[in-house]
Amino acid sequence: MQLGAHVSAAGGIQNAPQRGGEIGCDCIQIFTRNQRQWRAKPVTDEEAAAFRENRRCCGIGSVMSHASYLINLGTTDPDKFAKSHDAFEQELLRCHALGVELLNVHPGAHVGAGEEAGICQIAHALNQICRAHPDKADVRVVLENVAGQGTTLGKSFEELRAILERLEAPERFGVCVDTAHAFAAGYAIHTQAGWDATWEAFDQVLGLDRLVALHLNDSKAPFDARKDRHALIGRGEIGPDAFRRAVCDPRTRELPMFLETPAGPAGWAQEIQWLRAVAGGADAPLPVIEDAGIDP
């Protein structure tokens, strides 16, 4: 089992592995750059070497980068598309330099052009970027399901498939399921029957071999509300049982799982401990954690 969280890279990306190690992470998710700005400096050789060394020292398993929230490969605005294309390409290069093997991205939003047009544009951009970098196939691009707010694409497994089936090198891609997004998009993971139906649907539509990671988040948004609001594990509308299932179900328990809850580092340490305990069959009470009010 690999449990971790989205840890801060403040002060330099090379600091992230220790932050993960300190709170008991087996795996970490990071921003490799300031994700609120378009501009980002390339990774230096020194930074990359320090990151790799610290990762090794701290015993961190999987590392996933979360691409900037500014990126929208589905946009109809040519300037924003050019910036998104460039920013995602640079992100691929940074991951390759750092030895980060998973690059998670929200597929994008069509902003009124329609689902078909958005999906085609996203797939086209991903194809161009992959084609330009055949030597960066060590970085697996991971499409994250979304809550379905506004015109965002990827809220259903069918929409993710529509993108994946247009890719020239689908083997370079995987899927990450965010539990809060799935629940808000209408996947009833809060019940046992809904949990089973969700993974059966995933397997039928995408194939479970495409599933490479989970984001573990409870949801402040109600079921099927199409809103993206993360809650502490077990304290939101989903409740604790889905997270017990995530760490016990053979379909998901071997995947790297990353917390993006508003718990903050001390709270993530407790959430990880609780997940480990329930994975081992213990009937552990949910930790009492203050909601820091921010998503990572």
| Terminal-residue alpha carbon distance, the chain | 22
The nearest distance, CB 69 to Zn ion, in angstroms, is: 8
The nearest distance, CB 257 to Zn ion, in angstroms, is: 11
Could you list the active site residues?
A: 36, 66, 69, 106, 144, 178, 181, 215, 228, 230, 260
**CA–CA separation, 2 and 256 (whole Å):** 5
- Among 178, 218, 228, 271, the residue binding Zn ion under the rule CB under 5 A is 178
Residue 198's nearest CA partner among 224, 228, 229 is: 224
**66 or 244: CB nearest Zn ion:** 66
Q: Which listed range, 14-22, 71-79, 134-142, 171-179, lies at the site for Zn ion (CB under 5 A)?
A: 171-179
Burial class (CB in 10 A: 0-12, 13-18, 19+), 36: exposed
The nearest distance, CB 160 to Zn ion, in angstroms, is: 14
Spell out, one character per residue from 223 to 262, where the chain touches Zn ion: x when CB under 5 A holds, - when not. -------------------------------------x--
Q: Is 91 in the site for Zn ion (CB under 5 A)?
A: no
**75 or 104: CB nearest Zn ion:** 104
DSSP conformational letter for 191: S
The nearest distance, CB 185 to Zn ion, in angstroms, is: 12
Q: Return contacts of 41-46, CB within 8 angstroms, 24+ apart.
A: 42/90, 42/93, 42/94, 42/97, 43/13, 43/93, 43/94, 43/97, 43/98
**26 or 178: CB nearest Zn ion:** 178
Burial class (CB in 10 A: 0-12, 13-18, 19+), 197: middle
- Among 215, 229, 235, 245, the residue binding Zn ion under the rule CB under 5 A is 215
Contact residues toward Zn ion (CB under 5 A) are 144, 178, 215, 260
